[in-house]
Chain A
């Protein structure tokens, strides 16, 4: 019970915790550090392929220069992804907000049936319908040359199904506020636009952020829809080919460089908005 032994005990405990945390941090950052280093390896060294050491012997910007050169469409692919991510983020957030408000605040006929139906739909694996969606998009001319709007359409169309987190957030806003405003003669739409939305800034940012990040990792459906038309690739489609296809020799350092160019801005964006993200995932987890 002496405060002295308590203190030493706590100090030892803290030291161990620090050590564990430092080890964890190293493990978490190690791959990214490797990637960062490799992205600066000169093309003269190992021809841009894999090597069995960590520190490049010769630093250079060869890989980055290649990505921005005429030889590569990387800038275009990056732009494509940015455009898709931007529109998907805006439009799908709007869809989610609409659905969430309707399901949270209004009790209409078929509401529970609809929610159950969507829950059931969500249990089917997405890849199942890939081929069907491809041909559906093709009918509208939204594959190959039109793949970018096609991918935006697909990214947005069914986004209403992901309403859980936002609806959970809306549920926590007291209904008494709505009721008061409605007694004062405000319409539902007015309540939604002037009261609920301004109060939901964190969840809107969360929805925007998650929707923005999804398209960066979509290589499966995006490669299907682009169907060999390289101008319509997104970065994920193009870069996974560098790793998996033998046609692309010496693209390893370029992959690392491209990976850095994608990872750094998104990570910075994420760090800035981390607060909202945490709020979103926590809320979503608790409300289910």
Chain B
């Protein structure tokens, strides 16, 4: 019996050994903040007091700055990974004083990036691309660092007003705009669709040809095209910390009812399919989609490839409404940094990656529409079919502000209720109104 002891001991010693091992690595993380605690208080803060404006504003102003070395992790969407890698290399070549940093670019999509940054800021990328709807989430989780001073001026002066606005939460800028093309319009097959300006005609043509019309009505992004068309509003006010303070919504109204009925009517068509990706669709005649799909759309439609702004529809009240929607932006955010040198390099690199030239070549290589005003004036950009359709459509849209994460879920639920037939053409006005009222109340409940 007593001999059992030994093995137990060995086992515990092993556990203890393991823990001591992890204790060491843990100690590092535990002690760093402890020393940091003291550092900013006495020596770092005064030292940076005078250096600060120079150091994060204009890297060129102070040649003697020690940037240090390390790795800068960048997360961007799959299709621009190589492009970004190339541009980062060019940046390092142009700024040898910052070349102590190695840039590693990883394909992490705009959706995943924000989620990952929130899950583990420390493990996340230093610079990451995301769609603007994620910005409040990132700000309130403290996963993106504010942009101030000259850097902020860069954002406002170089980009179109909508883009700069999209990067702002509660008066502070948090990201560098990268594209101004996060909107949607109509891609269609000109051999099938005879009149792309009328929703009824499009549906009719599709039905006649036995082909599909894709519109992602269960997405909080595409769905407002109907509601905004009839004059409804849905916006949120935020405070400086990224909290939602007020919701401005009037879906539960006659206007909302007309939009709701139109969605239901569209869904009732045999040609309707819920979706917004050319490659995930089959037998497509028309699709409501964004510029990122222009390549696949050209491949799918071939010579009959055509683009147009969204069509208008005749509502149940007899009036004609032009489909609206969101105009959105893709942004580049910087993770809150512990090291001043690295922070400066990150800002400089992010500025470079969103500068006019790089935006223009990103357009050339990957088709991403620029947010930079100079790049927007480029003749090639102006001549792009998809981008001009988008530009036409953008006139009818509202710039996408900030929405709580729950809104997107809620919109999916509303859309799914239409798709599953819970709300259908046989639903009475009262039933539809109850659903809208429910939607509106829930939206309001997200703001405190």
Interface residues of A (CB under 8 A from B): 46-52, 108-109, 131, 134-135, 138-141, 143-144, 227-230, 241, 245-252
Q: What separation, in Å, do the CA atoms of A257 and B110 have in the docked complex?
A: 26
Tell whether B200 is near chain A: CB-to-CB under 8 Å.
no
Contacts of A138 in B (CB 8 A): 120, 123
New A-B pairs, 18, CB < 8 Å, besides A49-B281, A144-B123: A46-B300, A47-B279, A47-B300, A49-B296, A50-B280, A52-B282, A131-B119, A140-B25, A227-B116, A228-B106, A246-B280, A247-B77, A248-B78, A249-B277, A249-B279, A249-B293, A249-B295, A249-B296
Whole-angstrom distance between the Cβ of A77 and the nearest chain B Cβ: 13
Partner of B120, one of A47, A51, A134, A249: A134
Whole-angstrom distance between the Cβ of A195 and the nearest chain B Cβ: 22
Tell whether B283 is near chain A: CB-to-CB under 8 Å.
yes
Tell whether B22 is near chain A: CB-to-CB under 8 Å.
yes
Q: What separation, in Å, do the CA atoms of A134 and B29 have in the docked complex?
A: 16
Q: What separation, in Å, do the CA atoms of A22 and B280 have in the docked complex?
A: 32
Tell whether B278 is near chain A: CB-to-CB under 8 Å.
yes
Tell whether B125 is near chain A: CB-to-CB under 8 Å.
yes
Contacts of B113 in A (CB 8 A): 228
* Contact of A230 with B293 in the complex, beta carbons under 8 Å: no
Contacts of A144 in B (CB 8 A): 123
Whole-angstrom distance between the Cβ of B75 and the nearest chain A Cβ: 6
* Contact of A250 with B116 in the complex, beta carbons under 8 Å: no
For B300, the closest partner residue in chain A by CB is A47
Contacts of B336 in A (CB 8 A): none
Q: What separation, in Å, do the CA atoms of A245 and B77 have in the docked complex?
A: 10
Interface centre among B79, B109, B123, B279 (most CB of A within 10 A): B279
For B1, the closest partner residue in chain A by CB is A109
Q: What separation, in Å, do the CA atoms of A132 and B2 have in the docked complex?
A: 37
* Contact of A47 with B299 in the complex, beta carbons under 8 Å: yes
Contacts of B110 in A (CB 8 A): 247
Partner of A227, one of B78, B120, B293: B120
* Contact of A227 with B123 in the complex, beta carbons under 8 Å: yes
* Contact of A140 with B22 in the complex, beta carbons under 8 Å: yes
Partner of A249, one of B22, B119, B124, B278: B278
Closest 4 CB pairs of A and B: A49-B279, A52-B282, A47-B299, A228-B108
With A49-B296, A247-B79, A249-B295 as given contacts, are A143 and B278 in contact (CB-CB < 8 Å)? no
Contacts of B295 in A (CB 8 A): 249
Q: What separation, in Å, do the CA atoms of A150 and B14 have in the docked complex?
A: 19
Q: What separation, in Å, do the CA atoms of A143 and B120 have in the docked complex?
A: 12
* Contact of B111 with A250 in the complex, beta carbons under 8 Å: no
For B276, the closest partner residue in chain A by CB is A246
Whole-angstrom distance between the Cβ of A23 and the nearest chain B Cβ: 27
**28 A-B pairs (CB sep. < 8 Å):** A46-B300, A47-B278, A47-B279, A48-B279, A49-B278, A49-B296, A49-B300, A50-B280, A50-B281, A50-B282, A51-B282, A52-B283, A135-B120, A139-B25, A143-B123, A227-B120, A227-B123, A228-B108, A230-B107, A245-B112, A246-B276, A246-B292, A249-B278, A249-B295, A249-B296, A250-B296, A250-B299, A252-B279
With A108-B4, A109-B4, A247-B78 as given contacts, are A229 and B106 in contact (CB-CB < 8 Å)? yes
Whole-angstrom distance between the Cβ of B293 and the nearest chain A Cβ: 7
Partner of B26, one of A139, A246, A249, A252: A139
Contacts of B125 in A (CB 8 A): 228
Interface residues of B (CB under 8 A from A): 4, 21-22, 25-26, 29, 75, 77-79, 106-113, 116, 119-120, 123-125, 276-283, 292-293, 295-296, 299-300
Q: What separation, in Å, do the CA atoms of A174 and B63 have in the docked complex?
A: 81
Q: What separation, in Å, do the CA atoms of A141 and B22 have in the docked complex?
A: 10
Q: What separation, in Å, do the CA atoms of A131 and B119 have in the docked complex?
A: 9
Q: What separation, in Å, do the CA atoms of A29 and B369 have in the docked complex?
A: 45
Interface centre among A143, A247, A251 (most CB of B within 10 A): A247
Contacts of B293 in A (CB 8 A): 249
Whole-angstrom distance between the Cβ of A156 and the nearest chain B Cβ: 14
For A131, the closest partner residue in chain B by CB is B119
Contacts of B120 in A (CB 8 A): 134-135, 138, 227
Contacts of A249 in B (CB 8 A): 277-279, 293, 295-296
Q: What separation, in Å, do the CA atoms of A248 and B280 have in the docked complex?
A: 10
Contacts of B278 in A (CB 8 A): 47, 49, 249
Whole-angstrom distance between the Cβ of B105 and the nearest chain A Cβ: 10
Interface centre among A228, A230, A249 (most CB of B within 10 A): A228
For B22, the closest partner residue in chain A by CB is A139
Q: What separation, in Å, do the CA atoms of A163 and B125 have in the docked complex?
A: 40
For A248, the closest partner residue in chain B by CB is B78
Contacts of A47 in B (CB 8 A): 278-279, 296, 299-300
Contacts of A143 in B (CB 8 A): 123
Q: What separation, in Å, do the CA atoms of A47 and B284 have in the docked complex?
A: 13
Contacts of A46 in B (CB 8 A): 300
Contacts of A141 in B (CB 8 A): 25
Whole-angstrom distance between the Cβ of B376 and the nearest chain A Cβ: 24
* Contact of A250 with B22 in the complex, beta carbons under 8 Å: no
Q: What separation, in Å, do the CA atoms of A143 and B73 have in the docked complex?
A: 15
Q: What separation, in Å, do the CA atoms of A250 and B282 have in the docked complex?
A: 12
* Contact of A245 with B109 in the complex, beta carbons under 8 Å: yes
Interface centre among A109, A131, A134, A139 (most CB of B within 10 A): A139
Whole-angstrom distance between the Cβ of B24 and the nearest chain A Cβ: 10
Whole-angstrom distance between the Cβ of B19 and the nearest chain A Cβ: 11
For A71, the closest partner residue in chain B by CB is B82
With A47-B300, A228-B112 as given contacts, are A250 and B26 in contact (CB-CB < 8 Å)? no
Q: What separation, in Å, do the CA atoms of A47 and B298 have in the docked complex?
A: 10
Q: What separation, in Å, do the CA atoms of A244 and B401 have in the docked complex?
A: 26
Q: What separation, in Å, do the CA atoms of A50 and B106 have in the docked complex?
A: 27
For A47, the closest partner residue in chain B by CB is B299
